[in-house]
Chain A
Amino acid sequence: MKKLEDYSEDIYKCTKCGFCQAACPVFQETGLETAVSRGKFTLLHGILSGKVDFSEKIAKYLDMCLGCKACYDFCPSGISAEEIITAARAENNKINGINFLKKFIIWCFKSNIRLKALKTALTVYKKTGLIHLTGKIAGILGRWGNLIKIFNLQLNQNIEYTKLSAVKEKKEMKVVYFPGCIGNYVNISAKNAVIMVLEKNGVEVYIPDNFSCCGISSRSAGDFDTFKKLAEKNISLIPDDIDYLLTDCASCGSAWEFYPDLFEGELKNKAFRLYEKAVNINKFLETIDVYIPENVELKQVVTYHDPCHLARFQHVSEEPRSLLRKIPGLVYREMHGADKCCGAAGTFCVVKPGISQAISASKAKNILDTDADLVSTSCSACKIGISQGLAGMNAEKQILSPVELLAKLYILEENIDFAKNELKRN
């Protein structure tokens, strides 16, 4: 893993042109030079050249970055603030220790047991009817109430796994699907959708037991030890001879890009081989010529939010849109600033709640401006950011991944087919 000092030349390369101000959501909300890459590089250069102490105040400024990589495309010198700030946070953790809130979140995600407990709690919440109760009191709780409403809406829309009948011949490929911790343990709707869509298209997928969290939030907090532990576990669970490693959550997908940097020797090689096999589900479906039923439709207007980790880290932005456009009945409407960060950004929403909410609010405004019935995005973290934004604007909208929408279409089709069969039987 590269250390802060390994970046000293990159940091020095910042010409201070200031172009990053045009892209940085944190700068746009705060107007502070310390919030934008130029300011941070100046401080880091000061630290590396001995003019500034690595004080706790610096840690505060380092927290003011979503890691959204938006500035990277703007930077004439081609410097990645996201990468450098991550390294700087790791350095800060050594000197000033890691922030308590971040520590707590990382602690939660680190353990599958804690994640599973969360899942059980959610199931109980839904099954026992508590969901109806909170739905009733949500109205009097203001912004928090709105969040609960969106949360409930989400849970009610969840896709339950049903075995669908395959419409294509079984494909001879070895596919592992990495659902990520939210998908695997907390809200399994997106995961169910992926499995169902793949099965429908003749792709058999294997999900090893006990996958851990991808660790991306520990990485962005600069906690490389945790990141490494989680990575090692995930890598070890995957057989070496697979053809594809599928992900749907954007953050989990980009984690595989970072894994090889963490190791040496054979583990590094394996991590790298897996990274080369890793592909986002939206892109994968494009390559297998995904089945689209024609006799059913989803009559809704949808808009798509680009997760930073998908559009800028994995360069997947056309594929999810094209999938949405293929769904019969669904009207696609592009929002303004679709690729602007949703504001959640891992631990950012907890460490800098005020700025985070403001960024989410501007996302929500762009969503509402489209008048779409629902929002689609392919990242579990973005779903949180979007919910937070919508709640702030007192609005409710379903948030589903493109694959979840496709799964809904399949379900709809099978129900119709089922009805037809019933008719025949009579």
Chain B
Amino acid sequence: MKTQLTNIKSNIIGELKKIAGKSNVLTEYEDRYCYAYDATAIGEDLYLPDAVILPENKHQISEILKIANENKIPVITRGAGTNLVGGCIPLKGGIILHTSKMNRIINIDKTNLQCTVEPGVSVEKLQQEVEKQGLFYPPDPASLKVSTIGGSIAQSSGGPRGFKYGTTKDYVLGLEAVLADGSIIKTGGKTVKNVTGYNLNQLLTGSEGTLGVITLATLRLIPKPEERQVLLACFESIDEAAKAVTEIISAKITPSTLDIMDKNTMQTIEKFHQTGLPTDMDAVLVLEVDGFKESVPVQAGRIMDICRASGAKNIRISRSRQEADEIWFARRSAFGAVARLNPNVLTEDAVVPLDKIPDMVREIRRITDKYSLTVCIMGHIGDGNIHPNFSLDLRDKDQAKRFEQAAEEIFNAAIFFGGTLSGEHGIGYSKSAFINKALGPKNIELMKAIKNTFDPNGILNPDKIFARN
């Protein structure tokens, strides 16, 4: 028998079932086996939770946490499980709280430009609903079809639109969360301005499930831009592309997206989909401009001029919604194409100051050559946020080892160039070993003190963010 029994005592399981309902508490080996992972490639390591609970409301969560806290049982909240840093992996077993049943949009307030939603709503669902009302929720992680509002707040996710519109953290007005001891708190409020005391809202945002369980979020919305247009500018060198980006920014144009894909990425995409990307070029910029109808062609025209002056060999511009979708399709296929190359994909998320992008790209290429790895480099160049996507097979132990070494050198390079470990994916478990390098000891001490205040027994998502000792 390969099954392994839950470590939670049966009387506690009984209590949990009373709280959440029998069918919402799963303890069978096979069920738990399906909650031992998230989107992070961790090879054959297996960390089984002891129970999986699908709560239906905050009161259930509160009661569950009281029991967990009393019995020092770890609790790991899980949205869509798409994070790339092992954030949902139950390193010490315990309870997985899967928010899939808390997926209601409570209201969309057109007058006050905000909405209130439960944590399990997917980002795309929210975007679709608010867009029906002429409003706009800009944060757009590439996983938005499935990633949840709760998860994206916990990771403070970003996306291509981050350059102009900021990331999730810029849209969180108010939160309701359950703390480790079961108490329910409300942070922030319904106003855009708020300087009443410490900003607990922002503390919970990006806290990766280590400070509390988010049960409700009030999010800021903005009016939906009237029009948008996408450009694809092709360059023979990354330096030229980077130069174009700095020029665009100094010309005071703010595209909603400023993304880049390198040659390897384009070649990989073209291998699986024929999207017409220029595979002989070193880099392309994917730019989107939006705004009032009249302003969009003006912005696009100026960007074209700047790109040409910076050495762009060819520029494609969308003339219709369909053409825009085609260019976006190419950009969005990048991850999938890398995924088809080899069984595993590991996406890094370093961020550096804008002027260091060409250096950083060169350094990533040098490091991956040194370790004979395949890498496709893409990312949000406007934010200095680069995602080298490594395509590998983790069953090859030697390759896995080489990847680890390369990843560490890439982190070092990012820090050397004045950047940091993560722009939008977070630290979780996969980068926790490097956090001491990125932050000073005093910062770590403060953060640990905060963690301790919120969660003295350390039950909420243990062994994440901070280096394991």
Contacts and interface: CB of A to CB of B under 8 A. Distances in A.
Interface stretch (B217-225, B276-284, B339-347, B426-434): B339-347
Contact of B124 (A22, A34, A42): A22
Interface in A24-50: 27, 31-34, 39, 42-43, 46, 49-50
Nearest to A75: B336
Interface in B105-163: 120, 122, 124, 143, 145-147
A95 interface: no
B244 to A, nearest CB: 29
Given A22-B122, A22-B124, A46-B33, A17 B340 contact: no
B30 A52 contact: yes
The contact size tier of chain B is 35 or more
A74 B82 CA distance: 14
Interface in B54-77: 54
Contact of A21 (B35, B146, B343): B146
Given A17-B143, A32-B100, 7 more contacts: A13-B343, A21-B80, A21-B146, A51-B33, A51-B46, A52-B33, A77-B336
B145 A22 contact: yes
26 contacts: A12-B395, A15-B39, A16-B37, A16-B38, A17-B82, A18-B38, A18-B80, A18-B146, A19-B145, A19-B146, A31-B120, A33-B81, A34-B30, A34-B34, A42-B34, A42-B36, A43-B30, A43-B34, A49-B44, A51-B33, A52-B29, A53-B1, A61-B30, A76-B336, A76-B337, A77-B336
Nearest to A12: B343
B41 interface: yes
B41 A15 contact: yes
A2 B338 CA distance: 26
Contacts of A49: 44
A78 interface: yes
Contacts of B343: 9, 12-13, 15
A85 interface: no
Contacts of A43: 30, 33-34
A57 interface: yes
Nearest to A30: B100
B54 A31 contact: yes
Contacts of A77: 336, 339-340
B332 to A, nearest CB: 9
B34 A33 contact: yes
Contacts of A12: 343, 395
Contacts of B293: none
Interface of chain B, helix or strand or loop or mixed? Answer: loop
A51 B2 contact: yes
Interface in A168-224: none
Nearest to B2: A53
Interface string B267-296: 000001000000000000000000000000
Nearest to B332: A76
A78 B340 contact: yes
Nearest to B148: A21
A221 to B, nearest CB: 20
Contacts of B145: 19, 22, 74
A58 interface: yes
A76 B340 contact: yes
B339 A15 contact: yes
Which of A9, A31, A55 gathers the greatest number of chain B CB atoms within 10 Å? A31
Contacts of B82: 17-19
A15 B2 contact: no
Contacts of A51: 2, 33, 46
A99 B148 CA distance: 36
A9 B52 CA distance: 29
B54 A17 contact: no
B335 interface: yes
A19 B143 contact: yes
Contacts of B10: none
Per CB-CB distance, the 5 closest pairs between chain A and chain B, nearest first, are A76-B336, A31-B100, A22-B145, A39-B34, A33-B34
Contacts of B122: 22
Nearest to A9: B343
Which of A15, A27, A32, A34 gathers the greatest number of chain B CB atoms within 10 Å? A15
B3 interface: yes
A76 B34 CA distance: 20
B149 to A, nearest CB: 14
A22 B81 contact: no
A21 B145 CA distance: 9
Which of A16, A49, A50 gathers the greatest number of chain B CB atoms within 10 Å? A16
B145 to A, nearest CB: 4
Given A31-B98, A52-B33, A17 B2 contact: no
B374 to A, nearest CB: 15
The contact size tier of chain A is 20 to 34
B401 interface: no
Contacts of A46: 33
A18 B39 contact: yes
Which of A12, A13, A17, A32 gathers the greatest number of chain B CB atoms within 10 Å? A17
A15 B80 CA distance: 14
A46 B46 CA distance: 10
B98 A18 contact: no
B33 A15 contact: no
Nearest to A18: B82
B362 interface: no
Nearest to A49: B44
B80 A76 contact: no
Interface in B31-53: 31, 33-41, 44, 46, 52
A19 B141 CA distance: 12
Interface in A50-70: 50-53, 55, 57-58, 61
B321 interface: no
B39 A16 contact: yes
Contacts of B437: none
A222 B83 CA distance: 34
B33 A17 contact: no
A358 to B, nearest CB: 13
B18 interface: no
Contacts of A74: 145
B28 interface: yes
A27 B145 CA distance: 14
A17 B28 contact: no
Contacts of A78: 272, 336, 340
Nearest to B30: A57
Contacts of B103: 31
B339 A33 contact: no
A18 B336 CA distance: 12
Contacts of B3: 53
Nearest to A78: B340
B101 interface: yes
A39 B81 CA distance: 11
Contacts of B395: 12
Contacts of A34: 30-31, 34
Contacts of A17: 39, 82, 143, 335, 339
Interface string A344-374: 0000000000000000000000000000000
Interface in A83-113: none
A115 to B, nearest CB: 37
Nearest to B96: A33
B2 A50 contact: yes
B118 to A, nearest CB: 12
Nearest to B395: A12
Interface string B204-228: 0000000000000000000000000
A33 B98 contact: yes
Contacts of A42: 33-34, 36-37
Contacts of A32: 54, 100
